[in-house]
Amino acid sequence: MSRELIEHAGAMVAYPKGILAADESSPTLTKRFVAHGLESTESTRRDWRETLFSSPGLGEYVSGVILYDETFHQTTANGLSFPDFLVEHGMLPGIKVDTGAKPLAGSDGELVTEGLDNLGPRLADYYARGARFAKWRAVLQIDQAKPSAICIRANAHALARYAKLCQESGIVPIVEPEILMEGDHDLATTRRVAGTVLSAVFDQLRSFEVLLPGMVLKPSMVTPGNTGPTVSAREIGEASVECYRDVVPASVAGIALLSGGQSDDMATANLAAMNEIEALPWPITFSFGRALQDTPMKVWASSGQDRQRTQASLMDRVTTTASVLRPRHLVNV
């Protein structure tokens, strides 16, 4: 099982590929559909995702797709399950397994991600149905005394328990501690908080003896708050890599960054800046959702749901993003 985990984790971050995050919940996707004047039903959501996943050549640049439970259990127009469909097109099927962020007792409005109850049996079922990796997202906010120590500990502990349960079921865990961009904090503040959060996460991962080469880290980019001081992509790239180098063990399979509400161009520019830095101990790639899907959804809505035009738009975003990745001889640092 360890060998399979390591192989799949390596494949997920192998050059020149990244991960497509298509795991928006049905309510979240409905909001996006409504904003574009689209009807949201189980059938229309399935058609949207099948259009994306069947884009010609997608598997050349996307190693795997994170699915929402609804999509995971749906079939394509030809009656093939989505996990089997992805495998046929050269991509690993993934599944979002957390049940969302809920208020954390004892904190000042902070959140902790839930979903550990009955997770083991759920993972075993997902594996039997074709899932080979999973995702769990923790959410932390920067604001005065936030994130608090209790919030950091609670989310780090949950991420580690989830990761261990995944590996016991043969599933590669994507570990996602997201630090939200909302706020007026500067780059140095985010750098400090990100280092503290990631240190806590890896302390917990080690305590649960999670196999590090069999996991993928999905952190936020180290950016200032969305209303904070403006900095360059180079500054963001350097701050991010410096933070990861300080904290992330070289044995981790790779880092697949989330876009975190950034525009598609901004997320790609920051990813490019990181990949321009030489001699990294792990590959740095993308695990983008909206940064890859926003423009195609606009095309989908404005073109009368024209499949070819929507797929061309997605492939333009995917190839543009993948083009900034760089092959490298990895080194231990």
Render each residue's pLDDT in the chain as its tens digit; 333 residues: 799 999 999 999 999 999 999 999 999 999 999 999 999 999 999 999 999 999 999 999 999 999 999 999 999 999 999 999 999 999 999 999 999 999 999 999 999 999 999 999 999 999 999 999 999 999 999 998 999 999 999 999 999 999 999 999 999 999 999 999 999 999 999 999 999 999 999 999 999 999 999 999 999 999 999 999 999 999 999 999 999 999 999 999 999 999 988 999 999 999 999 999 988 999 999 999 999 999 999 999 999 999 999 999 999 999 999 999 998 644 444
Q: Any catalytic annotation for residue 209? A: no
Length, in residues, of the chain: 333
Q: What pLDDT, on the 0 to 100 scale, is given for residue 279?
A: 86
Q: What pLDDT, on the 0 to 100 scale, is given for residue 175?
A: 98
Amino acid at 232: S
Q: In whole angstroms, what is the distance from residue 49 CA to residue 2 CA?
A: 31
Q: What pLDDT, on the 0 to 100 scale, is given for residue 248?
A: 98
Question: Which residue of the set 218, 276, 278, 298 is catalytic?
Answer: 218
* C-beta atoms surrounding 10 within 10 Å: 17
Cβ-proximal residues to 316 (8 Å cutoff; 6+ apart), any chain: 295
Q: In whole angstroms, what is the distance from residue 55 CA to residue 135 CA?
A: 23
Amino acid at 181: M
Both structure tokens of 13: 């971050």
Q: Which one, of 319, 236, 250, 235, lies nearest residue 283 by Cα?
A: 250
Q: Any catalytic annotation for residue 42? A: no
Q: What pLDDT, on the 0 to 100 scale, is given for residue 328?
A: 65
Question: Which residue of the set 24, 176, 178, 238 is catalytic?
Answer: 176
Both structure tokens of 113: 């991600």
Q: In whole angstroms, what is the distance from residue 17 CA to residue 63 CA?
A: 6
